[in-house]
Structure 1
Amino acid sequence: MAAIRIYEPALCCESGVCGPDSDASLVTVKADVRRLKDLGADIERHNLATDPTSFIENDTVRGFMHTVGSKGLPLTVVDGVTVATGTYPSRDQLLAFAGLGDSSKIEIARSELGLTAKSGGCCGGVSGCC
């Protein structure tokens, strides 16, 4: 099963309901991650404020942060390959990434990022973006 990692900007809480303004996307992703974990998926969220080490230890994430910075978060990485930036994947996309749903959604997400199967992600292939 694929390893899904979501790297988020510095957040005061993972639920999105702290403070006067709640963030619906955080509420949704928290529920989606919980659902996928219940289904046996290997999925984790990493918050820049509470888990900065995870951003440094992962070459893909470290390169992304060096190039784009925290303004490009959230960043979703599946088995070391960037599949989404700047927004959280939908539940259907997460299910597909985990191998629990429609795998065509993986290719849709990759094509939206301009990635091809041969490129290996934003830092591989011919683009040399990193």
Structure 2
Amino acid sequence: MKKMQIFEPAMCCPTGLCGVSVDPELLRISAVLNSLKKNGIAIDRFNLTDAPMEFVNNQAVNQFINTQGVEQLPVTVVDGEIVITGRYPTNEDFIKLLQIPANLLGETSCTPKDKPENEGGCGCSGGKCC
């Protein structure tokens, strides 16, 4: 199994889901990570405020911050290699980088074109496709 780590800028709390206005992207990331965790896939998430030594101890991230600065966070690392900088992984990124099915993120892993045309409709029922 692939090992993913997300190194985030300094935030007021480990998830960044605090304060008056919550960033929708942080909310999405928290939901995705919770869904993955429920399916046995743990992703390490490090916030510069709460886990500064993780940034120091990870050689690739440490070098990245020294050359690019903390303004370029978040950084996503898979199996020790930086794969995304300056943004959080999209749901598609999680699927591709971790080589997991889309349904682990609460998404469907098929599209209407996957259903034979002679079955009628798009293959969706009850608000869920396939």
What interval of TM-score do these two structures reach, taking the shorter chain for normalisation? 0.7 to 0.9
Consecutive unaligned residues in structure 2, runs of 5 or more: 103-130
CA deviation vs aligned residue, 1:36-87 (integer Å, no higher than 9, x gap): 1222224110000000010011111111111111100000000011111111
Aligned to 1:46: 46
Aligned to 1:23: 23
**Aligned-partner SS, 2:100:** coil
- Count of aligned residue pairs for this structure pair: 102
Consecutive unaligned residues in structure 1, runs of 5 or more: 103-130
Answer yes or no: is the 8 Å Cα contact 2:5–2:77 preserved in 1.
yes
Answer yes or no: is the 8 Å Cα contact 1:14–1:26 preserved in 2.
no
Shift of 1:14: 3.6
Aligned to 2:94: 94
CA deviation vs aligned residue, 1:63-115 (integer Å, no higher than 9, x gap): 1111111100000000011111111011221122222148xxxxxxxxxxxxx
Answer yes or no: is the 8 Å Cα contact 2:13–2:50 preserved in 1.
no
Relative to 1, partners in 2 of residues 1:41 and 1:17: Cα closer, same or farther, differing over 3 Å? closer
Give the structure with higher Rg (CA): 2
1:1-130 maps to which residues of 2 (within 5 A)? 1-101=1-101
Q: Give the superposed CA RMSD.
A: 1.5
C-alpha separation in 2, matches of 1:60 and 1:12: 25
C-alpha separation in 1, matches of 2:84 and 2:97: 11
Answer yes or no: is the 8 Å Cα contact 1:16–1:24 preserved in 2.
no
Shift of 1:16: 3.5
**Aligned-partner SS, 1:89:** coil
C-alpha separation in 2, matches of 1:93 and 1:39: 17
